[in-house]
C-alpha cells in the first residue's frame, strides 16, 4: 500500500524544467554563455554609465558665461586668478546648460530636429563673440 502512495505521489508532482534536460553534458566554464537569438549583445556605448558626448546646450551656456567672465572689471585681477575664475565660470555654465537640457527631457517637452543643433552652435558662437566685444 505504501508503494502505491509513493508511486502516485511521484506521478502527481509537477515536473521541473531541468528534469527534461540531458544532464550528461557538463557546462565548460571557459566557454562563453550563449545568448538568445533575439538578444543583441550590448554595444560599448550602452555599457558606459556616462556618455562621452558633450552637451550643445551646456557648451553654449558655458561659452556665454566664460565670455562674460572675461569682461573688464574695476578690480585688477592677476592672470592666474582670471584663469581660475573663467574656468570655474565655464564649468558652472556647462552644468547649468546640462541641467536645463535634462529638465527639458524630463518634462517631456519636444526636442528640436538635429539640424537645429547647428543653429544652436552658431547662435552660441555669435553670443560669445558679442559677449567678448561688449565693453
pLDDT attached to residue 106: 92
For residue 46, the tally of other CB atoms under 10 A from its CB is 8
15: three-class secondary structure by DSSP: coil
Contacts of 120 by beta carbon, 8 Å cutoff, 6+ apart: 56, 57, 60, 112
Quick one: cell of 112? Answer: 528640436
Residue whose C-alpha cell is 575664475: 85
pLDDT attached to residue 33: 59
Whole-structure pTM value: 0.50
Q: Which residues of the chain have pLDDT under 50?
A: none
H helices present in 17-114, as ranges: 44-47, 56-69, 79-106
Q: Is the dihedral of CA 54, 58, 59, 62 positive or negative?
A: negative
Amino acid at each position: 500500500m505504501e508503494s502505491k502512495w509513493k508511486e502516485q505521489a511521484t506521478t502527481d508532482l509537477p515536473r521541473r524544467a531541468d528534469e527534461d534536460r540531458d544532464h550528461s553534458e557538463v557546462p565548460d566554464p571557459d566557454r562563453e554563455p550563449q545568448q538568445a537569438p533575439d538578444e543583441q549583445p550590448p554595444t560599448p556605448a550602452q555599457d558606459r554609465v556616462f556618455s562621452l558626448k558633450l552637451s550643445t546646450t551646456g557648451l553654449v551656456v558655458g561659452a556665454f558665461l566664460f565670455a562674460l567672465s572675461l569682461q573688464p572689471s574695476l578690480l585688477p585681477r592677476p592672470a592666474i586668478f582670471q584663469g581660475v575664475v573663467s574656468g570655474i565660470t565655464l564649468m558652472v555654465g556647462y552644468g547649468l546648460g546640462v541641467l536645463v537640457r535634462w529638465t527639458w527631457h524630463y518634462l517631456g517637452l519636444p526636442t528640436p530636429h538635429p539640424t537645429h543643433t547647428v543653429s544652436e552652435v552658431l547662435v552660441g558662437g555669435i553670443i560669445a563673440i558679442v559677449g567678448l566685444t561688449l565693453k
